[in-house]
Structures are given as structure tokens and as C-alpha cells.
Amino acid sequence: MPRQPAHPTRSQPEKNPRRDPTAAGQRDASVNRAASHNYFLLEKFEAGIALTGTEVKSVRAGRANLKDAYGLIKDGELWLLNAHIGPYEHGNIFNHEPLRTRKLLVHKDEVRKLIGKTQQRGLTLIPTRLYFKNGRVKVELALAKGKQLWDKRETERRRTADREAREAMARGRKKE
């Protein structure tokens, strides 16, 4: 018969390995909200991004901004321009440039497909969000077509009408 321990041991509560929801991939690190306002987003795809260590730490801290960023295909490679990743707070002299051009990592057949669509149909590559997936930073790019001013007004009208309809339905359900 096994001997009983002299004092009962308390089991330690497990530490949550996913403390940071951004780093765990549960929440986006950065979202480009202006993209859907200024462009018709036609097709979305995922790309890796080549970053330095201080850039990854800044993205994890939520210091990334994609508002004026866009993608560019040059010499058969995909690049991200004007994406602002703020300097790392605890960085030293080897901290990164906030607006440097960053290389996007995609397969060659995807690059060939994008070359055809951007050159022939006049579409643009717009980053819509920056997020973590399996510990790596990923960028969601969208093939986009620019909106005219009247397109933006029409979208806003439609959004307002939908919101008013939802509110009216909610009020109707509340009265019952």
C-alpha cells in the first residue's frame, strides 16, 4: 500500500500561455479601416512579412499603422511601402526605421497572378490588417479598386439605411 504524504499538496493553477491576445493571434495587431472606405476590396490574400526583432516587438505592442500603406511589385518581388511601425520603446541604437520598405513573402505563382491583375486591370494592393499567426507576423493584402466620391457617398447612405432598419427592428422586438 502506498504511503500517504505528510501534508496534502496543492496543485498550482496553470499559467495561461496566451496572456497577450495580440501575440496569440486572437486580436489583430493593426487594422486599416480607411481601406474599405476608399477602395472596393475585391480579393484578399495572406502574405508573410520580413521584419527585424524590434519591429516584431513594436507590432506586438500595437505600434503599427497601415493607413497610408500599399503594396508594390518590383522585379518579381512584393514590397510593402509606407507602413508605419513605431520604434521599439526599449530599443537601442539598432532600432528600426519607422517607414522603411519591407519585403512581403509570397509564392512566385501568387506574384505572377498579382502582376497580371495589377497591370492589366489597374488594381492596387492595399494592406487591410496585420496580425500574428503561429508566432509569425502576417499581412492581409487586398486587391482593390479605388472609389470615386459618389461611391463613398452611396456606401455611407446604404450603411446608414441598414443601421436605421436594424434599430427599428430592435425597437419593434422590444415593444412586444
How is 120-164 classified by DSSP, letter by letter?
HS--EEEEEEEEEETTEEEEEEEEEEEPPHHHHHHHHHHHHHHHH
Q: Model pTM?
A: 0.70
pLDDT > 90 fraction of the chain, expressed in percent and rounded:
9
* Domains of the chain, start order: 30-147 (2.40.280.10)
Q: CA 3 → CA 6, 7, 10, 71, distances in Å? A: 9, 12, 18, 68
- Give the ranges where the chain is alpha helix by DSSP (H): 33-38, 53-60, 108-120, 149-175
CA angle 47–49–50, rounded 5-degree value: 150
Give pLDDT, residue 165. 92
Computed over every residue of the chain, the mean pLDDT equals: 82
Give 116's pLDDT tier (boundaries 50, 70, 90). confident
Supply the pLDDT for residue 161: 92
Tens-place pLDDT, residues 8-39: 666 655 555 556 766 666 677 788 888 887 88
List the beta bridge partners of residue 141.
45, 127
Interval 89-116 mean pLDDT: 84
pLDDT of residue 163: 92
Contacting residues for 130 by C-beta, under 8 A, at least 6 apart: 28, 29, 30, 31, 49, 59, 64, 66, 83, 137, 138, 139, 140
Which amino acid, 133? K
pLDDT tens track for 50-60: 988 888 888 88
The whole-angstrom separation of Cα 64 and Cα 30 is 6
